[in-house]
Amino acid sequence: MSAPFLFSCTAPGVSGKNLDILAIARDATGNFTEARASVAVVSEADSVTPSVIKVIAPRSAAPGEKARVGVMASDDRGVSRVRFIYNDQAFADSYAPPFSAEFSVPATLATGSAATVAVEVMDAEGNTASASAVINIIENPDTTAPNGVAVSAPAIVKPGETMELSATGTDSGGLFSMEFYANGALIGTGLEAPYNFAWTVPHNAAPGSRISFTARAVDFSGNHADSAEFSATVAALGRGFLIGEAYDDATSLPVTGADVIVSMAGGLGLIDPIRTVTDLAGRYSLELSEGLAVLRVIKDGYTISYRSVYVAADAVTEPLDARLTPISPSIEITGLSGGAVSLDNGAVTLTVPAGSFGETRPVSLTRLSAQGLPGPLPLGWTPVSGFAAGPSGWPVNLALSITATGLSNVGNSPENLVAAWWDAASSRWVRAESSALNGAISAVMPGFTTVVFARPDAGSSAPALPQVGQALSGVAPIPIPQDAVAQISSSPDILFMQPGQKSSVTVTLASSAGLPSGTVIRADHDESYILLNGQKLLVDPRGEDIIMYRAQGGLAGEFVATPSRSFDPALLNEGGIEISVNRPGESRGLGVFSPAGGSVAAQGASLSMGAGLLDGPVPVRLGVFSEWDKAVSSDTRLVRLGGPAGVDLDLGGKSLPVSATLTVDLGVAPSSDLTVLLVRTAEAAGTGLLELVAKGSVAGQVVTFTGGDANFPVTGITDGGRYYIVGVAGPVGFITGRVQKNGADAPGVLVSTNGLPFVSFTRASDAAYVLAAPAGSAGVTAIDLTDGAEARSVAEVSQGGSSVANLYLMKGAPLVTSVTPAHNARGVDPASSLTVKFSRPMAPASLSADTVTLKGQGGAVLTGSVRVSADGTSVAFTPFALLAEASAYTLTVSGTVTDSYGNALGADFSSVFHTINKIAPPIGRCPGEGSGHRHQLYNR
């Protein structure tokens, strides 16, 4: 082949697909380079003519002179060719921008005459547009080169970065073009001032290397002048953190164990993707090269979520939350014969035509909420309904189709909707071929993917409508103004503690700004429970990104709220889920602690780390909350101070080797009789606890918390979690000590006191503990969370002082603390249920009909149900049949039953009780029968 290198090909028969083209240029010695292009396949013929923006030609030229002519043109699907014409004869064709040609001015033209050069711009469909320019003929050619040529560029650039080059220059007859060179190679040409050019630094540019830039100014006669060199140094890409969450869209609960797969980092596709897994809170954290990152979140049985985000260096970036939807049941379809899958009694149908694939596949169709789409729609679009056809990404030979009737929020105008399918390869929504008839709308999809029926916003913020095969585009974001008002409603408002219970939540947002569909808010869930036995469950808060869409009066977003904990409802005293909404990032600071230190600030609080304390970077998300959890506020011993109620800290799953310093502005100085403490929520044996981590140092209205020392070994702020700032009134002191077992330090021990609701944990690095307690005698209890070994002591606490109480663990065993009916009880109702309570939680699997038995008189074993309480501290035996009256029974718990640590009861426990006697006694006659005297006999 020779230049121009042209070829033709046949497009795929399915609209919406892309025709991917790879071009390889190879020289005689085998050196080569590659370029790629993607052509969208559409169903509609191109009837739009190109636009000629400007014909660039000299004002004048001399006979015989070679003058340069250029064209600036555009077309909705791209310009295919520009033809240059003189006297109805084509003298040059140009196939790629900048469209230009060299015009040889006829030598026969007389001075004072003119030459008209015409241009014809054509697109691939053959649509054309024409324009022309007039060149005046002068006597002498231009032989003067341009002057004052200079180029400017950033002094430091990074691989993959798109940088801006600028150049200037002047010429008496005007400049035709400005050429930009990198290391001597032409990288771009501009035909019109200002001469700016965006260039992407090669991804393989070596850090420390230099790139030399020059500019060449060319006038219409071909005279040129070069700028001086400008050198830019290539710096290594920085590193940043990506922290995100994944939620089940059907419940809004975290998705645990989902795979997070990064296919692009630093703007470069990865041969070996980077992987991580979501934790128990659905969170994931990744340290990546700065630049564009593309990831997907996958879990078996769920749809896939895709996210694209720019990772900033030395910063924390938060992608939009991933929301995964449970996949609907599939049916087997043989591709050769085809088939269909329906939802809602045929209201929505996915049609698989015969010959779509060769084998038999399980095909599913899943309805998606507006929050659960695989990728967000561009700003300015509202999804009416979305449907995921699976298995996602499986290849097909023929296009699939989906038809839906009765879509919500559509009214009687489905023809006003735009159908689009999700292109996972490019992470974009592509308009699909669609049709509407009799209240139904159908769309063609190129394979197993997601289709959404969406409507554009109306008015001045309406997005551009793409043609079939083109990607949906959005409008510019608008910040949520300060006058925005949010309202939250839920249905139902009251949930019963039963599996599957959830509430539908709607958030509306009204503001003075015309916010576009796709605006994101954050919904924070605060959940807490208090049981009848006083046990408290403190659930770490979670915040979800909620996408808002145009609705009457503003924006609206819908999601569900579901309790994250389940337990016996008979044990619940009170509980609830409180939902509040905020702007994204409001009340929260993001940053990175590095070996050089760092500081992150949120509203009224800041967290800092000194230099030289870390070996590597640690991501930090610091949030501030203003209300105590009800499980905390219900404790009258604790005083709520002014300012923030506490902070939420996320370290991306990492821990700090030493405590950070937390500084909080309380707004007002606390009372001098208050001891200010920092406590962190924790959980052990299913109970919510408050771990004492720091004592506050108060200076006016500012309090500072940090770690302790050898004499006061509090841990300080080293881990993520929720931290409460609490005040304790009255004389308060502290108890410290070490915990040992078998003569060695014992880690993993929970230490508590009966004076205040704070606990301490011993760690592998330090078996010391610190507790706060009111002045006076305080009981101290320690329990090994691995085997249940216990220790108890009493400490004398003085105000502001620190008492020492070392603890020595002894292996413990569970005890029966009570039994109902009581041992030797009489008059027991035969319909009674029998309950045994233990001193510590028991292993439910050890309590069964084999280990909890009831025997009647004579040793007969009675059958019944065995039910262990949710907290494991009691077991109930309910006979299947009523007990006999006036009988003795023996309830036995086997000595083999174990507590949650595996410690056995040791010896059988037995308790005897007697049922009530309701049998009427017989009446006997006295020896003097007939005398009218009668005796009543009673069974005593």
Over residues 699-726, mean pLDDT = 95
- CA 857 to CA 855: how far, in whole Å? 7
* Bigger pLDDT: 812 vs 136: 136
Confidence of residue 211 (pLDDT cuts 50, 70, 90): very high
pLDDT for position 503: 86
Q: What's the gap between Cα 593 and its chain centre?
A: 22
pLDDT for position 495: 59
Classified by CATH at the fold level, domain 243-324 comes out as Immunoglobulin-like (2.60.40)
Residue range 522-535, pLDDT digits in tens: 999 888 787 777 77
* Bigger pLDDT: 387 vs 935: 387
Over residues 114-127, mean pLDDT = 94
147-234 matches 485-582 in fold? yes
% of the chain beyond a pLDDT of 70: 93
Classified by CATH at the fold level, domain 816-915 comes out as Immunoglobulin-like (2.60.40)
pLDDT for position 24: 79
Beta bridge partners of 276: 260
Residue range 1-52, pLDDT digits in tens: 666 777 777 776 666 566 777 777 777 777 666 677 777 676 677 888 999 9
CATH architecture designation of domain 331-461: Sandwich (2.60)
Confidence of residue 912 (pLDDT cuts 50, 70, 90): very high
pLDDT for position 857: 86
Nearest residue to 675 (alpha-carbon basis) of 800, 801, 759, 795: 800
- CA 691 to CA 79: how far, in whole Å? 68
Amino acid at 610: G
- CA 364 to CA 145: how far, in whole Å? 69
- Looking at 2.60.40.10, 3.90.1150.10, 3.40.390.10, 2.60.220.30, the CATH number of the domain 587-709 comes to 2.60.220.30
Per the structure block, which two tokens stand in for 370?
Answer: 């507006």
Amino acid at 32: F
- CA 363 to CA 369: how far, in whole Å? 20
Taking all residues of the chain, what is their mean pLDDT, rounded to a whole number?
A: 90
| pLDDT at residue 323 greater than cutoff 90 | yes
Please, are residues 322 and 246 in contact by the beta-carbon 8 Å criterion? yes
Residue range 53-79, pLDDT digits in tens: 999 999 999 999 999 999 999 998 889
- CA 228 to CA 870: how far, in whole Å? 79
Residue range 165-195, pLDDT digits in tens: 999 999 999 999 999 999 999 999 999 999 9
Q: In what order do the strands lie in the sheet with 864-868?
A: 816-820, 834-838, 874-879, 864-868
| pLDDT at residue 892 greater than cutoff 90 | yes
- Domain 54-137: which CATH class? mainly beta
Per the structure block, which two tokens stand in for 559?
Answer: 């999601």
Place of tokens 């005890």: 815
Q: Which helix (H) or strand (E) holds 236?
A: none
Confidence of residue 633 (pLDDT cuts 50, 70, 90): confident
Place of tokens 């819908």: 558
| pLDDT at residue 266 greater than cutoff 60 | yes
pLDDT for position 525: 85
CATH superfamily of 147-234: Immunoglobulins (2.60.40.10)
Predicted TM-score (pTM) of this structure: 0.82
pLDDT for position 76: 84
- Domain 485-582: which CATH class? mainly beta
CATH 3.40.50.1980 is right for the domain spanning 731-812: no
Residue range 128-142, pLDDT digits in tens: 999 999 999 999 999
Q: What's the gap between Cα 546 and its chain centre?
A: 11
Residue range 757-793, pLDDT digits in tens: 999 999 988 899 999 999 999 999 999 998 999 999 9
Per the structure block, which two tokens stand in for 696?
Answer: 């506050």
Domain ranges of the chain: 54-137, 147-234, 243-324, 331-461, 485-582, 587-709, 731-812, 816-915
Which stretches does DSSP call E strand in 41-65? Answer: 51-56, 60-61
* Bigger pLDDT: 37 vs 616: 616
Please, are residues 463 and 550 in contact by the beta-carbon 8 Å criterion? no
